[in-house]
Chains A and B, each alone.
Chain A
Amino acid sequence: MRAGPSQEDIRRHNLGALLRHVHLGGPISRAELTTRMGLNRSTIMALTSDLTAAGLVREELPRETGRAGRPSLVVRPESSRVYVFAFDVGPDRLAVARVGLGGAILDRREVARRRGPFELEELAGMLAGFARQMRRKTRDDTVCVGAAAAVSGGVRKGDGVIRFGPNLQAEEVPFGEELGRRLGLGLPVSVGNDANLAALAEHSRGVGMAVRDLLYLHGDVGIGGGIIAGGHLLGGHEGYGGEVGHMVVNPGGRACGCGSSGCLEAEVGERALLEAAGRLNPHPDAHQGREAVRAVVDAADRGDIRAQEALKRVGDWLGLGVANLVNIFNPEMVVFGGMLREVYLGSAAQVRTRLALHAMAPQREKLRLRTSSLADDATLVGAAELAFAHVLADPLEALARVQG
């Protein structure tokens, strides 16, 4: 039995905490770090010099402060030197980004994906190819410290296997392992659910910064979700938590891709909206995805009665789903992302009417409803945060491993 954390544990924790401040908050003076972290000046100095020696941060004199006295050094993340690869696999798009420490997207590639079966080798090969192209353009002194992917489906926390992904047509796919092998960086690839990761992104860098209890709803073909409770993502026992899209709101309602019926996703997802608006076209090359959803909202705005009715109907179900979630989790903020941004703005009267009718008064009193501020980058930004997670947990060890 251990008496408590050792000196070494405390130092590791403090290094991670300091790096997290710089990573999420951007350049910050040593003096400011001293107050924020509640550590004394010499400790901060020792920690920053360790991180500087490892090449994770650098210190600079600030620009003119206009104040008397020797200015405190500013600690900056080594954004152009230390980076991760972030991947996003959605039903309609594949994206890869090289993201620097501090969160800046340094380089990116994006291609449209045709809806169809999930071809693991082809897909992993293509993503790894993009990453290699980007890597070739980097300077010699740069170092890749991690890689992670956001996928539209349920992912097992332990090994990055996509267990179910009806909208990607993926089932039991060892995606993390295959992508890691193809990348050939000697790094494991962490894999997470796209909506879960987008929730983390909005919580750490988006509209939900400083919000500890947040509910994020992501609309794509289906509806995904991420629940941040007390500052932590609610993953559940094996990481499948947060599937708000498969909450049954209309028993015996429309059939859902998951095999059930009347799921929130079946009543609110792209297919439901397009069908209600009379715009569902089964042809594979037809207008679908975000563009088709935008076209419905646009038509409703111009006075198309069928499109207006479709949005009303979808807004009703969306509001009912959100009301249930608000009653259970009492979030401070609900964020609508992906295509739900457009759907919410186009049907807010219905959504909030349902909330007024079905959410309990104490829970809805201070509730804030917002749209995603990271927009289409939310899933990528979230994947990057997942890739940085182990670096922030133990900066020196993580760096030693990749430079080994």
Chain B
Amino acid sequence: MTPLLEVRGVDKSFGPVQVLHDVNFQAHAGEVTALVGDNGAGKSTLVKCIGGIHPIDSGDMLFDGAPVHVHGPRDAGELGIEIVYQDLALCDNLDIVQNMFLGRERRSGLVLDEATMEELAEQTLSGLSVRTVKSIRQQVSSLSGGQRQTVAIAKAVLWNSKVVILDEPTAALGVAQTAQVLELVRRLADTGLAVVLISHNMNDVFAVSDRIAALYLGRMAAQVKTADVTHAQVVELITAGRSGDLGLKNGVTP
């Protein structure tokens, strides 16, 4: 099966510091790929390279098997790649619909097409079986952490996106809301999207992922099927870059 999104041999340096070394990464449609690694392993940098925020120094990016060049977030958006950052980038003083269409408002003539936007927002939320939000005209400031996360995810899905990248979506949430967000993450993939989940919580990773990609000091230690590995192996990949036959050999990707 061709991965929907693939990067090959990506290098990235900030000045004298090389952050990514020859990184390969794949995300498949219909699957959740967990991207794990210690602080500073390069998770966020990799994601920002994919999203077009950082230009890559060398390496290739393929979308649905075809080579593509992403020069900015707009290019990534056009391919159908959406990233939900930790801070969510929602505007507190706007309601859910306004947030979901922020900067990409629908117009009919000179005025905003509120009815269509409302309908699309409603459809997206119900398509994701989101029942926790009372009204889509609610201001975002009145929402709980889990609901905000849900709105940010729905906003990413609204644009017929094909790849959704979530940066620590459950980090600031309580148990009940974490459960809802994890189930939403799983549903996104079950509807056919390629989902990339960055997380430090091993239970979250094992609960919803199909594959695990472990970064170690800027190198991809291993990309494995979740069904084939144990918790201990993943922890070793994260902390030492290798585990038995898995992972880096002498500190480099074999």
Contacts and interface: CB of A to CB of B under 8 A. Distances in A.
Interface stretch (A253-261, A281-289, A362-370): A362-370
B206 interface: yes
Interface stretch (B6-14, B96-104, B221-229, B241-249): B221-229
A333 to B, nearest CB: 11
Contacts of B178: 301, 345
B227 A294 contact: no
A29 interface: no
Contacts of A59: none
A365 B231 contact: no
A353 B203 CA distance: 11
Interface residues of B, number: 23
B205 A349 contact: yes
Q: Is the interface of A mostly helix, strand, loop or mixed?
A: helix
Contacts of B108: none
Interface in B154-204: 174-176, 178-179, 182-183, 186, 202-204
Contacts of B230: 353, 356-357
Contacts of A270: none
Given A341-B179, A345-B178, A345-B179, A356 B227 contact: yes
Interface in A284-334: 294, 297-298, 301
A346 B227 contact: no
B129 A349 contact: no
B226 A346 contact: no
Contact of B175 (A294, A344, A350, A351): A294
A356 B178 CA distance: 25
A367 B227 contact: yes
Interface of B: 129, 174-176, 178-179, 182-183, 186, 202-208, 226-232
Interface of A: 294, 297-298, 301, 341-342, 344-353, 355-357, 361, 364-365, 367, 369-371, 373
Q: Please list the 10 inter-chain residue pairs (A to B) with the smallest Cβ-Cβ separation, ordered nearest first.
A: A348-B207, A348-B206, A349-B231, A353-B230, A349-B206, A349-B202, A352-B206, A298-B175, A353-B231, A348-B203
15 contacts: A297-B175, A344-B207, A345-B203, A345-B204, A345-B207, A348-B206, A348-B207, A348-B208, A349-B206, A350-B231, A352-B226, A352-B227, A353-B231, A356-B228, A365-B227
